[in-house]
């Protein structure tokens, strides 16, 4: 970093990108007054997927992004590469190739054994400078959302967060990135016309991973990098599923006044646990003290955008619907054929939840006594 | 210790409505509020003010009326507020926003030890401005913190929530921290606080005051472009079935969706 130039004159810019190594790129660019010539689209090529792993285990979203990236790369007629940062990660290459990658760039370094924003940013930016990808996708996970924000600044390019749809204009390999905003009330399509790479984070489960093809040919490249030691120390780490994070959950199993009594919430917890989701409630349940306010869905609760929302005994008041408009699929069970929730449900079942919920649990084989979690 | 808290004024998205005819936002009657995550960030700073005598400075970038979020923060206990406002800043994406905010932070005296952000703004929901500013300032970054303390050795400790669970990290200052809505509830403003806030002088910084490069600000300085805004197709209701006679059919229909969505075998 120390040899990064402190000023650049546009006439002398040879596109060496040494300036991108500087962590005060804004200053460098500001000093030169030059904004456009720093990452010429013409020299950038290829689609990259940041394949996030944790302690050697690949995140599912990496495979999903490879499926999406494969499509983009085919349309643009370029290669698809997966980038893995970590330590002792050689085993991760083959599954990534089977999932669609033409190349896997592996950075195996002790400093990358654990995620830290600074080291991850440094490593990925060094690779970007070295290979100049045209498109870079990453999962909108805790890690992806955090350090890609730094990478975008250091690489002097745009980043679109939390995309739910991607397409490409193949003539210029221009990425169309669509994402929700304002609590899912509107969608925006965003482009990065003049800066490269075009960067996007994508919500998990938006794309479906390809069926792995072990016969696919691909190349694994081990990339040697020099990285500074991490500056933070982790003094405690406790694996807890944040069961109260209903806003980010993909599956929300919710109940309302129709549950009739607090004990019935146990059934919801059992279902949620089985499906890997979390329990949400209507305001009525919070008012009765059956559940904590952190679980409330709706206008004065959380706005949620799960893939599947299951509503048991919820009438569907406007204030409740306000929180679930962004749900992909809504399944509602209500004994009242005229309940307004049916107007928004993809599957509306007129019926008694005390019959249907246990039958569903049985069909799923989810009979075990759960730990009922937090209220 | 000098802490900066970045506050954004946002529309109360819970009340945002779309005009179905014109596909435009109906802003009438939509209140502007301080981004709720930012209030938790402010609370963490005010706790450090109480425990360590930290000086708490608030910043917001926005139109002149965004000043109220600064006064509200002063009423709650912040020491001062700066409004970053200029026509040239309009239309900024996260790159251009991070650039301008980081320049404002560099201008502050004494040098800033910690910069607190909300995890994300409820309108844009990008969660990128905090990380972006950390990069421009060359400060280390901690994301998704519930609480932050500073020890006698002048190092911070933060309790964070990552995908796997809770993590407590420790490190040197200066640092940028993004804060969740999980920690202690934001305190209320006091009457005395409001008196102070009413009389507080709020300096306004624009392009010249900050010495920023106009080409790097606002829409001009933004690498991303919004090409299209549209209302997601509204939900209209789909299959309706009666599960009273044959609950097993209803269960089968639910299972089919779960299978199709890949959440159950
Ligand atoms: C300013 C304001 C803000 C609000 N914010 C929120 C909010 O954020 N979130 C929220 O949820 N509400 C909110 N509300 C409250 C909202 O208006 C409703 O009162 C609330 O959502 C109703 O909850 P519910 O659907 O559980 O209860 P109900 O409306 O009483 O519905 C219970 C449903 O259960 C069904 N049922 C009964 N027995 C069974 C059975 N055995 N099997 C199947 N179904 C059965 C009934 O047919 C009925 O439809 C707000 C209200 C106001 C005024
Ligand atoms: N215009 C702004 N003025 C002050 N702070 C901001 C502004 N925009 C974003 N922030 C801060 O950055 C955080 C993340 O915002 P975002 O990246 O837009 O989700 C917010 O919670 C605020 O703390």
Question: pLDDT tens across A283-305, in order?
Answer: 999 889 898 878 999 877 777 88
The span from the first CA to the last CA of chain B, in angstroms, equals 55
What's chain B's Rg over C-alpha atoms?
22
Chain B partners of A36 at a C-beta cutoff of 8 Å? Answer: none
What is the extent of the structural domain holding B190? 2-216
Residues recorded for chain B: 265
Domain for residue B230, yes or no? no
State whether the Cα torsion B248-B254-B259-B264 is positive or negative: negative
**Same-domain status, B247 and B140:** no
**A375 or B208, greater pLDDT:** B208
**Same-domain status, B86 and B27:** yes
Q: Give mean pLDDT, residues A56-83.
A: 96
Question: How far, in Å, are A4, B59, B61, B201, B205 from residue B83 at the CA level?
Answer: 33, 6, 6, 10, 6
- For A107-145, b/e burial (b = at least 16 CB within 10 A) is bbbebbbbbbbbbbbbbbbbbbbebbbbbbbbbbbbbbb
Band of residue A263 on the pLDDT scale cut at 50, 70, 90: very high
Q: What is the pLDDT of residue A22?
A: 44
A40-222 belongs to CATH 3.40.50.620: yes
Distance from A226 to chain B by nearest Cα, in Å? 18
Q: What is the pLDDT of residue A6?
A: 43
Question: How far, in Å, are A252, A334, A370 from residue A359 at the CA level?
Answer: 19, 15, 17
**Same-domain status, B80 and B116:** yes
Q: What is the pLDDT of residue B79?
A: 98
Domain for residue B37, yes or no? yes
Distance from B111 to chain A by nearest Cα, in Å? 17
Distance from B167 to chain A by nearest Cα, in Å? 4
- pLDDT tens profile B191-243: 999 999 999 999 999 999 999 999 999 999 999 999 988 877 766 678 889 99
Distance between Cα A302 and ligand 1 center (Å): 15
Any idea where the domains of chain A sit in the sequence?
1-39, 40-222, 251-364
CATH dotted code for A251-364: 3.40.50.1220
Q: Give mean pLDDT, residues B73-100.
A: 97
Q: Give mean pLDDT, residues A195-215.
A: 91
Residues 6 or more apart whose Cβ sits within 8 Å of residue A213: A98
Q: Is the pLDDT of residue A28 over 50?
A: no
Q: What is the pLDDT of residue A164?
A: 86
**Same-domain status, B257 and B177:** no
- C-beta of A132 in contact with ligand 1 (< 6 A): no
- pLDDT tens profile B100-151: 999 999 999 999 999 999 999 988 889 999 999 999 999 999 999 999 999 9
> For the packed helices A117-131 and B129-137, what is the interaxial angle rounded to 10 degrees?
80
Domain for residue B225, yes or no? no
- Which atom, in ligand 2's list, is nearest to the CA of B118? 21
Chain B partners of A303 at a C-beta cutoff of 8 Å? Answer: 13-14
Rounded Cα distance, B72 and B198, in Å: 9
**Same-domain status, B253 and B149:** no
Chain A partners of B163 at a C-beta cutoff of 8 Å? Answer: 54, 141-143
Q: What is the pLDDT of residue A186?
A: 79
Number of domains in chain B: 2
Domain for residue B228, yes or no? no
**Same-domain status, B19 and B63:** yes
Q: What is the pLDDT of residue A241?
A: 53
DSSP single-letter state for residue B27: -
Flag the least confident range among A60-69, A264-273, B21-30, B126-135: B21-30
Domain for residue B222, yes or no? no
Q: Is the pLDDT of residue A181 over 90?
A: no
Q: What is the CATH number of the domain that holds B183?
A: 3.40.50.620
Residues of chain B numbered 91-120 and touching chain A (CB < 8 Å): 93-95, 98-99, 102-103
What's chain A's Rg over C-alpha atoms?
24
Q: Give mean pLDDT, residues A325-349.
A: 93
Which two structure tokens, joined as six digits, stand for B179? 């804060």
- C-beta of A287 in contact with ligand 1 (< 6 A): no
Q: Is the pLDDT of residue A15 over 70?
A: no
Residue A90 class from Cβ within 10 Å (0-12 exposed, 13-18 middle, 19+ buried)? middle
**A318 or B84, greater pLDDT:** B84
Distance between Cα B92 and ligand 2 center (Å): 11
Q: Is the pLDDT of residue A30 over 60?
A: no
Whether the CB-CB separation of A325 and B235 falls below 8 Å is answered with: yes
**Same-domain status, B131 and B252:** no
Q: Give mean pLDDT, residues B31-60.
A: 96
Domain for residue B258, yes or no? yes
Q: Give mean pLDDT, residues A311-336.
A: 91
Rounded Cα distance, A34 and B161, in Å: 39
SS3 per residue for A222-250: ECCCCCCCCCCEEEEEEECCCCCCHHHCC
Rounded Cα distance, B137 and B159, in Å: 23
pTM of this structure: 0.79
Q: What is the pLDDT of residue A11?
A: 44
Rounded Cα distance, B87 and B189, in Å: 31
Residue B229 class from Cβ within 10 Å (0-12 exposed, 13-18 middle, 19+ buried)? middle
């Amino acid at each position: 970093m120390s040899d990064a130039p402190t000023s650049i004159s546009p006439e002398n810019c040879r596109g060496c990108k040494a300036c991108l190594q500087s962590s005060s790129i804004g200053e460098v660019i500001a000093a030169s007054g030059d904004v456009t010539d720093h990452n010429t689209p013409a020299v950038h090529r290829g689609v990259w997927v940041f394949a996030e792993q944790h302690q050697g285990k690949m995140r599912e979203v990496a495979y999903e992004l490879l499926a999406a990236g494969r499509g983009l790369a085919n349309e643009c007629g370029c290669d698809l590469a997966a980038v893995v940062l970590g330590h002792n990660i050689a085993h991760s290459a083959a599954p990534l190739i089977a999932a669609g990658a033409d190349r896997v760039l592996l950075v195996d370094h002790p400093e990358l054994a654990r995620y830290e924003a600074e080291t991850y940013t440094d490593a990925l930016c060094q690779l970007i400078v070295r290979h100049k990808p045209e498109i870079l996708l990453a999962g909108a996970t805790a890690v992806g959302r955090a350090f890609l924000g730094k990478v975008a600044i250091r690489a002097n390019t745009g980043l679109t967060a939390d995309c739910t749809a991607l397409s490409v204009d193949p003539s210029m390999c221009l990425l169309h990135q669509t994402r929700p905003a304002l609590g899912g009330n509107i969608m925006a399509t965003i482009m990065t016309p003049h800066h490269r790479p075009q960067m996007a984070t994508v919500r998990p489960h938006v794309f479906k991973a390809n069926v792995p093809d072990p016969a696919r040919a691909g190349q694994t490249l081990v990339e040697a990098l020099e990285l500074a030691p991490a500056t933070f120390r982790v003094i405690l780490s406790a694996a807890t599923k944040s069961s109260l994070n209903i806003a980010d959950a993909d599956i929300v199993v919710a109940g309302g006044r129709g549950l009739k009594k607090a004990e019935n919430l146990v059934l919801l917890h059992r279902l949620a646990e089985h499906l890997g989701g979390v329990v949400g409630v209507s305001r009525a349940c919070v008012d009765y003290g059956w559940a904590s306010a952190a679980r409330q869905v709706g206008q004065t609760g959380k706005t949620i955008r799960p893939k599947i929302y299951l509503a048991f005994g919820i009438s569907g008041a406007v204030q409740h619907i306000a929180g679930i408009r962004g749900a992909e699929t809504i399944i509602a069970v209500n004994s009242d054929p005229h309940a307004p929730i049916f107007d928004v449900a993809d599957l509306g079942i007129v019926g008694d939840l005390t019959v249907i919920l246990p039958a569903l649990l049985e069909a799923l084989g989810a009979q075990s006594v759960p730990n009922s979690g937090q209220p | 210790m000098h802490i900066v808290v970045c506050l954004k004024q946002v529309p109360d998205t819970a009340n945002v409505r779309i005009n179905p005819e014109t596909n435009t936002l109906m802003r009438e009657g939509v209140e502007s509020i301080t981004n709720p995550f930012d209030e938790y960030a402010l609370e963490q700073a005010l706790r450090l003010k109480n425990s360590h005598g930290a000086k708490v400075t608030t910043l917001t970038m926005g139109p002149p009326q965004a000043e109220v979020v600064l006064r509200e923060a002063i009423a709650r206990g912040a020491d001062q507020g700066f409004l970053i406002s200029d026509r040239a800043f309009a239309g900024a994406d996260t790159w251009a926003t991070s650039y301008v905010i980081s320049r404002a932070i560099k201008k502050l005296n004494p040098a800033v030890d910690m910069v607190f952000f909300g995890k994300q703004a409820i309108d844009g929901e990008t969660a990128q401005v905090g990380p972006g500013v950390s990069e421009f300032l060359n400060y280390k970054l901690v994301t998704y913190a519930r609480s932050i303390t500073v020890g006698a050795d002048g190092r911070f400790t933060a309790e964070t929530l990552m995908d796997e669970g809770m993590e407590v990290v420790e490190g040197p200052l200066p640092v940028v921290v993004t804060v969740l809505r999980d920690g202690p509830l934001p305190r209320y403003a006091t009457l005395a606080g409001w008196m102070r806030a009413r009389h507080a002088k709020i300096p306004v910084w624009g392009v010249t005051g900050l010495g920023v490069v106009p080409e790097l600000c606002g829409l001009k300085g933004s690498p991303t472009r919004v090409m299209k805004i549209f209302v997601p197709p509204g939900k209209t209701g789909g299959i309706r079935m009666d599960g009273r006679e044959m609950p097993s059919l209803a269960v089968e229909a639910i299972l089919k969706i779960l299978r199709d969505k890949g959440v159950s075998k």
